[in-house]
Amino acid sequence: MASKGRPYRTFLIDGFEVLVGRGDRENDELTFRVDETRDLWLHVAGGIAGSHVVIKNPGGGQVPQAVIERAAGLAGWYSKARASSKVEVHYCHARDVRKPRGAPSGLVELTKHKRVRARPTSADSDDA
């Protein structure tokens, strides 16, 4: 889905709105201005460049594992690891994402996170 004029792409996965950053500055805007503390934040692990992904969670309840896995596939797809068969994706609540002082756009650190392995998958894929 196109999200004209916004710093992110928008997808709908099983009723959850999933936002995918478009670049370093846009990732910062998505991560620090758009998401809220109860949302989930995802990114491909290992220092691989890629989009920040946010699963909106307005109710604050448990996000189903299937939604996390599909969002992780999008994180892989919108990263330099797109051609990999599987990627490791870190995810956490948005409140656990910090911007180090003086860090360049797009660079963050996580105070705690979980991991999931996923196949990079576009939203247009039958698997998405």
Mean pLDDT by 10 residues, the chain (128 residues): 70 96 93 93 95 95 96 98 97 96 93 97 66
The C-alpha atoms of residue 87 and residue 58 are separated, in whole angstroms, by 27
Largest CA distance in the chain: 41
Q: Where are the domains of the chain?
A: 8-118
Give the model's pLDDT for residue 7: 75
Give the model's pLDDT for residue 126: 47
